[in-house]
Amino acid sequence: MIRIFKYGEVPNQEIFARTEPTANVSGVVSEIIQQVRLRGDEALLEYTKKFDKAELSGLQVTEEEFQEALSSFDPKLKKVLQRAATNISKFHSRQKRNSFILSEEDGIVMGQKIIPIDRAGLYVPGGTAAYPSTVLMDALPAKIAGVKEVVMVTPPNAQGKINPAILAAARIAGVDRIYKVGGAQAIAALAYGTESIPKVDKIVGPGNAFVAEAKRQVYGQVSIDMIAGPSEILIVSDGKTNPRHVAADLLSQAEHDKLASAVLVTDDLELAKAVQEELEMQIPQLERAEIARASIDNNGKIIVAGNLDRAIDIANEIAPEHLELCVEQPFDYLSKVRHAGSVFLGRNCPEALGDYLAGPNHTLPTSGTARFSSPLSVDDFIKKMQYTYFTRDALENVAEDVAYFAKAEGLTGHARSALIRTQEENT
């Protein structure tokens, strides 16, 4: 059963405690990465047979495989995917940045160019679970940014097939190539390249502990989006929200993973007790009841705060991945929220809207990293390049100051470089 804490009556370390994964997989992941670097496709095929029980003759999904999967694909789900893609594209298109140029002073031109990365790598969980929503959320911002090539990796099932929903989402989102490989070995292939899989500039997408550790180890060789931890939801609610709705929203994240965190912060003790009872009624109704039960019992909590302002303070301290403001006037509290991945406002905005259809991205910072990081966006797939141009006269106007600054740092070579052109006789 979920625990109820009264803020101020228990130590803060109990209120803000997080359950962190304990498995240390760094050694195993390091060996996998090394084998992929040394043996390329051969290692990928071996690991796919070992971990996914699939014997493959080739890694890349062919057009024939695409057509076979899509020929019997659920037409209603296809329409839902297309609707989601439209919403996601509409939202992320507003994130596009423009280059700029400054030429306010005579003889000086400065500017910044926005340049998409050449190739992005998408990791999409597969096998027993399939997440076409992740394909849309990760691929569409890359395409909007102008990435030339989007490469996706996802593990196959034991028959060597990719879930048709994954392939349908990839086709809708414009993914250029798909490879049947998962786990740490897939991350290594994207980071270093193999005979079949091209090296990418950035890897995005969630995965298990092995995938997360592999992303950590290859960072620097390539860029990554983030190290994703267990899923989180925090609901701030007054006493007027239906406890059935609150419980259902908490369970929408608890069913993800036994390590997932579901937290309610409320100013109403009666709501807290009602949600506690409602959770006990709803958990047995879930297909993933065992997972949800472990998450709620081990990581779930209800915190009773003195008022809603204090509840927002608690939410900011936790910095959750998903934050629901189930209150009377949610926009009155939005300005007070400083640390959250994505915020859902009002009593009719369940977090599941954000997972699938609303438009904002669902790849979000976890484990408190919302204090300093952001949701996946178009910005993740671009880089900025700056440039400067000075005429001779413009340089002469500032050369002495540049040299003086350089000498103050003990860098006389810098000073000389600034002065040498202005001290030469005009020819």
Residues designated catalytic? 321-322
The b/e string for 12-31 (b: 16+ C-beta within 10 A; e otherwise) is eeebeeeeeeeeebeeebee
Let me know: does 354 contact 253? Beta carbons within 8 Å.
no
Q: Which residues contact 202 (CB under 8 A, 6 or more apart)?
A: 117, 120, 121, 222, 223, 224, 225, 380, 381
Strand 232-237 with 322-326, pairing = parallel
CA separation for the pair 353, 374 (Å, rounded) = 19
The b/e string for 371-380 (b: 16+ C-beta within 10 A; e otherwise) is eeebbbbbbb
* Residue 225: Cβ-neighbour burial (10 angstroms; 0-12, 13-18, 19+): buried
CA atoms within 13 A on the CB side of 129: 12
